[in-house]
Structure 1
Amino acid sequence: MYRRSSVGTRCRIVVNSVTTWGAGACRPADEWPYLTHARGRDQVALRIRRVTPAALADLVRASAKQVLSSRGLDHAVLPDPVTIERPRNPEHGDYATNLALQVAKKVGLAPRDFAQALADELAGTDGIASVEIAGPGFLNLRLAADAQGEVVRRVLAAGDAYGTGAALAGRVINLEFVSANPTGPIHLGGTRWAAVGDALGRLLTAQGAKVTREYYFNDAGAQIDRFVGSLVAAAKGEPAPENGYAGAYLSDIAAEVIRQEPSALSQPEVERDEIFRRVGVDLMFSEIKKSLHEFGTDFDVYFHEDSLHASGAVDRAVAHLKETGSLYAKDGAWWLRTTEHGDDKDRVVIKNDGVPAYIAGDIAYLRDKRERGFNLCIYMLGADHHGYIARLKAAAAAMGDDPDVVEVLIGQMVNLVSDGKPVRMSKRAGTVITMDDLVEVVGVDAARYELTRYSVDSTLDIDLDLLRKHSNDNPVYYVQYAHARLCSLRRNAADLGIADGDPGDADLSLLTLPREGDLIRTIGEFPSVLTKAAELREPHRVARYLESLASAYHKFYDVARVLPQGDEEATPLTHARLTLCDAARQVFANGLALLGVSAPERM
């Protein structure tokens, strides 16, 4: 039987025994991740453990179950999780839910009646200052200041780990990104993937996944032949061959090949080309890895496409597909039924001349990943690779695998704009803008931040003039400056003799200004932002969150004086606000680290 607790307002949902959970009862306390329970002599009481949207969602859902169960109504209609949102107008409360509107009619209640019963159930719960009914049945919740303050303590106790979770625990993920052809410097599309892919890897790791960052080195095929031909032409001082590559970088690499192998040009054609292939491709790839490292993106594995052919992995994969009937013969070639997975046509795996098509290497590569123990293979590919979604899923299915072990993210193009005009040519690459070009103009931090703050689904125009500004118009400057300002605040406090205190000693119930509450609630949203960003593979959510946090901090600082002035003494409010600022600084540092962007202490 349910009854209200008689031990104070902290306990709102009480059952007589942990062993009597019936059909209409709430689930045990350990099934509510953000609620905890207190044991008395004969009862267990659920209470809110932390004031965050997720915690409030659990509390509201548990309270709604109590309301419905007490009336003999079916609580299976309750959504899980319950939606908790920040109202656009702060005057409407700290958080709001439309649960009564979603559920009431399904159980034969008027929405406002159900909202009133739910408000009565929630009223007085520890951490909830008030619950108001608005409109046809919305609930607006206001939180107690001391309860909100617990978020601040939790941030400082967790430190660098604040925001991390276990939503992806058990996932062993192969994250392949960039994988640009080793025929030239990394262009802007690859640069976007270098920033987004690295940030995504950090996010997935922060949610408990074991992530291997992998670069697929396309060192087999016609593009390498064209690259070698272009190097030979550059070494001879001749124009690049038709369909070849151009740019000053080719002359540099060709000169280095000659320096290492002085007799290369005098060798017979086959031997000559092999020298330029062996030395030149290695030099180009070394340049690519150097650019990536300087950009802050490193890989755990550099996988060579050529190794799949040399080891016989491609032949074995194709033989397996033939044995299992996954390929069919037509017009002298062997085909994979990719149309069954959304492709516009079936794809040739072995051409009619017996030579494996490019997809044969993709199939062998996926098989290799699965044999290495990855239970999720994420591919980050350019806009011209949309057809690969169906092909790779078909490859997984053909091997008897679940197609969902393959996940393909498609990124759109990147353009540079300066003085309102497109920037099209690279000084070194000749035909494209490169990663090094972008970094030279705006720096690593600005480049990485700008490339990650937009969804990869959209074409991105980067305003170089904006990113060079040291003003709040520049998003990365805006966020980094907030962190630097907080660091300066703590240094100024030390100059005044105000030492770092124990967060547990700060009286956070003094933080009652609306702007203080807004900053605390924004800080508290960080873990859920990270969870959602990892789940949806959208690192841009972290960047946008940091900008909203910077806005909340600057608005707080404008109305709340933190440090004493003149001969004033530090007060408990001083320590409370400094503690809040320390928490904000920690969240900025954590968020920027996930994006691979520095958190400067001085600007």
Structure 2
Amino acid sequence: MTPEAVSAAVLDAVRATFAAHGLDTSALPETTTVERPRNRDHGDYATTIALQLAKKLGAKPRDLATWIGEQLAQAAGIASAEVAGPGFLNIRLEAAAAGELARTIVAAGAAYGRGELLKGSRINLEFVSANPTGPVHLGHTRWAAVGDVLARVFEAAGAEVAREFYINDRGNQLQNFALSLVAGALGEPVPENGYKGEYVTDLANAIVKDRPDIMALPEDERLTAFREEGYQRQLDEQKAVLAEFRTNFDVWFSERSLHSSGAIDEAMAKLRGQGHVYEKEGAVWMRTSDFGDDKDRPLIKSDGEYTYFGSDAAYYVNKRSRGFDRCLYLLGADHHGYINRIKAIASCAGDNPDESVDVLIGQLVKVIQNGAEMKLSKRAGTIITLRDVIDLVGVDAARYQLTRFSTDSSMVLDVDLLTKKTNDNPVFYVQYAYARISSVLRNAADLGVDRGELDPSLLSEEKTNALLGALAEYPAVIATAAELREPHRIARYLESLAGLYHRFYDSHRVLPQGDEEATDTNRARLWLCEATRTVLANGLGLLGVTAPERM
């Protein structure tokens, strides 16, 4: 019996109670939720519905809980509904109702856990957005994992999501990149504010090899040619390594396109129309200080050039014009100051930032190997790159570890730990549970034992109930992760589920031994194994981590 089914039974009991006792029907709730008690001795589920309604009705909570419990105990699948404390209701399911969940999960397959919490929402999720002047580095790597998982979680909760990468392809950084490439091609020192690392020289040499004419161009044309060649090649490399990391984007949005398409002028017209734009000393400003920013921000400089902030403001307006009702930004630890600015932009555009904007700040990541922090990448010059991380620990381990911590906490990638094939390695621990179940199911097939018809009443032992309880929680875990923007909840849940499965398997023999005939108990346990494997696969899929059949 799923939590949703229990919630529905509670609502039916509340309606019956209101009818039987002549209570004010205007207080009838439209929905309610049930929770798993921390102490399973208190039952399978608990509800505070009586406490919530008593004050509205002027009734005593324990009396109301007693009445609701009497109605609920008559519902199919409910063994008892006992009043506790000031008015809690502890609900116990009949063994068959609890075990029926295994059939529900197996039948749902990949759809189990998906819901409609965010149905109707259109979310623009912008993350990574690395400058096209170098490799994707460690800071971007955390967002490459978390952003992609968050998008998957939003979709599992019913939202429509666009994964967007903002290409910063205007401004001084590209010019400095071009100067660095020319210096690399000429064998000269990197200019001040230039880009260092072997990748710059390698890229410059590759451009010269493919375009031998480039060095003969006039100086200005040569610089432009290096800039455009280097920019496109570096962007292609970013796309390739992100795809290898299983992070794919729906939109690669060029900052240049804001200007070339006229979108920035349209955005400025909208902002002017809201009344928060003014001119001072030949420049154009936006009065962001009206909405919590520490000072007003310039949109257009006195020479007519748009500022970075002007592009940011236009970019937000452009996102909203594309029909997204919520714009979510994933920013690095050094971007705290951007939160108020982005929210002020939304306010100046006439939006409620509490409804249209979310900003998540990701804290720093360290890579540890042999007990010491790694700080340098020979190829990149000064930083650890996504390519380094993939080479060190692999895609599965990196994605899993990067998403199992809250984004507001710093974290460590321990290379030695994440390459171990032991239970100390969290991704190995979860994947091994999946592989172990797959092995059990293969062995069952070899023995000619299939699941047959499920007798759910046979799934009643303590560790079996604990496993069923965890499986029932999976949809709520997804919903909570989506609502709170906390995808690490998925990883932590999977680790707990894996542990419960291992304890169940170690305590209860799934397959017959020797010449024993398969029993209905064996078959019921196979149903539970298949249900657990389904949830592990679904959860690992949300994390973008593989579910191996063998390990």
The two structures share one fold, judged by TM-score above 0.5: yes
Q: What is the CA–CA distance in structure 1 between the aligned matches of 2:296 and 2:23, rounded to whole Å?
A: 53
Contact 2:450-2:523 within 8 A present in 1 as well? no
Residue 447 of structure 2 corresponds to residue 499 of structure 1: no
Q: What is the CA–CA distance in structure 2 between the aligned matches of 1:490 and 1:82, rounded to whole Å?
A: 38
The correspondence for 1:470, drawn from 421, 426, 444, is: 421
Compared CA separation, residues 422 and 67, structure 1 to 2 (3 A)? same
In terms of mean alpha carbon deviation, does 561-570 or 64-73 score higher? Answer: 64-73
Q: What is the CA–CA distance in structure 1 between the aligned matches of 2:168 and 2:140, rounded to whole Å?
A: 14
Shift of 1:377: 2.3
Q: What is the CA–CA distance in structure 2 between the aligned matches of 1:74 and 1:487, rounded to whole Å?
A: 54
Question: Equivalent residue for 2:390?
Answer: 439
The correspondence for 1:490, drawn from 427, 441, 448, is: 441
Question: Equivalent residue for 1:285?
Answer: 235
Residue 361 of structure 2 corresponds to residue 413 of structure 1: no
Shift of 1:78: 7.0
Contact 1:52-1:521 within 8 A present in 2 as well? no
Q: What is the CA–CA distance in structure 2 between the aligned matches of 1:324 and 1:56, rounded to whole Å?
A: 49
Shift of 1:439: 1.0
Question: Equivalent residue for 1:426?
Answer: 377
Contact 1:411-1:457 within 8 A present in 2 as well? yes
In terms of mean alpha carbon deviation, does 392-401 or 213-222 score higher? Answer: 392-401
Contact 2:288-2:348 within 8 A present in 1 as well? no
Residue 160 of structure 2 corresponds to residue 210 of structure 1: yes
Shift of 1:412: 1.8
Q: What is the CA–CA distance in structure 2 between the aligned matches of 1:90 and 1:400, rounded to whole Å?
A: 50
Compared CA separation, residues 177 and 567, structure 1 to 2 (3 A)? same
Compared CA separation, residues 475 and 75, structure 1 to 2 (3 A)? farther
Question: Equivalent residue for 1:584?
Answer: 532
Shift of 1:134: 3.2
Question: Equivalent residue for 2:97?
Answer: 147
What whole-Å deviation, never above 9, does each CA across 1:474-522 have from its counterpart, x for those lacking one?
1111111110001000011111111353xxx211111110111111121
Shift of 1:74: 4.3
TM-score by length of 1: 0.86
Q: What is the CA–CA distance in structure 1 between the aligned matches of 2:55 and 2:344, rounded to whole Å?
A: 45
Shift of 1:124: 3.2
Q: What is the CA–CA distance in structure 1 between the aligned matches of 2:85 and 2:119, rounded to whole Å?
A: 41
Q: What is the CA–CA distance in structure 1 between the aligned matches of 2:87 and 2:230, rounded to whole Å?
A: 70
Residue 68 of structure 2 corresponds to residue 118 of structure 1: yes
Q: Look up the SS of the partner of 1:525 in the other structure.
A: helix
Q: What is the CA–CA distance in structure 2 between the aligned matches of 1:70 and 1:566, rounded to whole Å?
A: 58
Structure 2 unaligned blocks of 5 or more: none
Question: Equivalent residue for 1:294?
Answer: 244
Residue 467 of structure 2 corresponds to residue 516 of structure 1: no
Shift of 1:266: 3.9
Q: What is the CA–CA distance in structure 2 between the aligned matches of 1:434 and 1:141, rounded to whole Å?
A: 52
In terms of mean alpha carbon deviation, does 53-62 or 525-534 score higher? Answer: 53-62
Contact 2:274-2:350 within 8 A present in 1 as well? no
Residue 478 of structure 2 corresponds to residue 534 of structure 1: no
For 1:458, the aligned partner's letter is S
Contact 2:176-2:193 within 8 A present in 1 as well? yes
Compared CA separation, residues 376 and 562, structure 1 to 2 (3 A)? same
Compared CA separation, residues 80 and 230, structure 1 to 2 (3 A)? farther
Q: What is the CA–CA distance in structure 1 between the aligned matches of 2:19 and 2:190, rounded to whole Å?
A: 78
Question: Equivalent residue for 1:38?
Answer: none
Q: What is the CA–CA distance in structure 1 between the aligned matches of 2:240 and 2:412, rounded to whole Å?
A: 26
Q: What is the CA–CA distance in structure 2 between the aligned matches of 1:287 and 1:257, rounded to whole Å?
A: 14
Q: What is the CA–CA distance in structure 1 between the aligned matches of 2:424 and 2:87, rounded to whole Å?
A: 40
Compared CA separation, residues 78 and 410, structure 1 to 2 (3 A)? farther
Q: Look up the SS of the partner of 1:142 in the other structure.
A: strand
Shift of 1:431: 0.7
Q: Look up the SS of the partner of 2:212 in the other structure.
A: coil
Shift of 1:138: 3.1
For 2:411, the aligned partner's letter is L
Q: What is the CA–CA distance in structure 1 between the aligned matches of 2:427 and 2:295, rounded to whole Å?
A: 44
Q: Look up the SS of the partner of 1:139 in the other structure.
A: strand
Contact 1:339-1:390 within 8 A present in 2 as well? no
For 1:565, the aligned partner's letter is Q
Question: Equivalent residue for 1:225?
Answer: 175
Shift of 1:157: 1.2
Q: Which has the higher helix share?
A: 2
Contact 2:9-2:75 within 8 A present in 1 as well? no
Shift of 1:72: 4.2
Compared CA separation, residues 434 and 68, structure 1 to 2 (3 A)? same
Contact 1:54-1:528 within 8 A present in 2 as well? no
RMSD between aligned alpha carbons?
2.2
Compared CA separation, residues 531 and 244, structure 1 to 2 (3 A)? same
Question: Equivalent residue for 1:548?
Answer: 496
Contact 1:533-1:541 within 8 A present in 2 as well? yes
TM-score by length of 2: 0.94
Q: What is the CA–CA distance in structure 1 between the aligned matches of 2:137 and 2:60, rounded to whole Å?
A: 59
The correspondence for 2:336, drawn from 370, 380, 386, is: 386
Question: Equivalent residue for 2:406?
Answer: 455
Contact 1:452-1:595 within 8 A present in 2 as well? yes
- The 5 A counterparts of 1:95-244 are 95-104=45-54, 107-244=57-194
The correspondence for 1:261, drawn from 211, 216, 221, is: 211
Shift of 1:311: 2.7
Q: Look up the SS of the partner of 2:530 in the other structure.
A: helix
Compared CA separation, residues 268 and 391, structure 1 to 2 (3 A)? same
Shift of 1:297: 1.0
Q: Look up the SS of the partner of 2:170 in the other structure.
A: coil
Q: What is the CA–CA distance in structure 1 between the aligned matches of 2:85 and 2:198, rounded to whole Å?
A: 67
Shift of 1:80: 6.6
Q: What is the CA–CA distance in structure 1 between the aligned matches of 2:19 and 2:363, rounded to whole Å?
A: 51
For 2:447, the aligned partner's letter is L
Q: What is the CA–CA distance in structure 1 between the aligned matches of 2:273 and 2:444, rounded to whole Å?
A: 73
Q: What is the CA–CA distance in structure 2 between the aligned matches of 1:506 and 1:289, rounded to whole Å?
A: 48
Question: Equivalent residue for 1:313?
Answer: 263
Question: Equivalent residue for 1:329?
Answer: 279
Q: What is the CA–CA distance in structure 2 between the aligned matches of 1:172 and 1:138, rounded to whole Å?
A: 38
Q: What is the CA–CA distance in structure 2 between the aligned matches of 1:324 and 1:212, rounded to whole Å?
A: 27
Q: What is the CA–CA distance in structure 2 between the aligned matches of 1:338 and 1:600, rounded to whole Å?
A: 52
Identity, in percent, stands at 56
Shift of 1:329: 1.7
Shift of 1:564: 0.4
Q: What is the CA–CA distance in structure 1 between the aligned matches of 2:488 and 2:414, rounded to whole Å?
A: 17
The correspondence for 1:60, drawn from 2, 7, 10, is: 10
Compared CA separation, residues 437 and 556, structure 1 to 2 (3 A)? same
Shift of 1:211: 2.0
Q: What is the CA–CA distance in structure 2 between the aligned matches of 1:594 and 1:549, rounded to whole Å?
A: 15
Structure 1 unaligned blocks of 5 or more: 1-50
For 2:546, the aligned partner's letter is S
What whole-Å deviation, never above 9, does each CA across 1:61-85 have from its counterpart, x for those lacking one?
4423543554444466677754522
Compared CA separation, residues 471 and 80, structure 1 to 2 (3 A)? farther
Q: What is the CA–CA distance in structure 1 between the aligned matches of 2:173 and 2:462, rounded to whole Å?
A: 61
Q: What is the CA–CA distance in structure 2 between the aligned matches of 1:396 and 1:106, rounded to whole Å?
A: 38
In terms of mean alpha carbon deviation, does 223-232 or 84-93 score higher? Answer: 84-93
More contact order relative to length (CA 8 Å, sep ≥ 6): 2
Residue 550 of structure 2 corresponds to residue 599 of structure 1: no
In terms of mean alpha carbon deviation, does 566-575 or 222-231 score higher? Answer: 222-231
Q: Look up the SS of the partner of 1:417 in the other structure.
A: strand
Aligned length, in residue pairs? 550
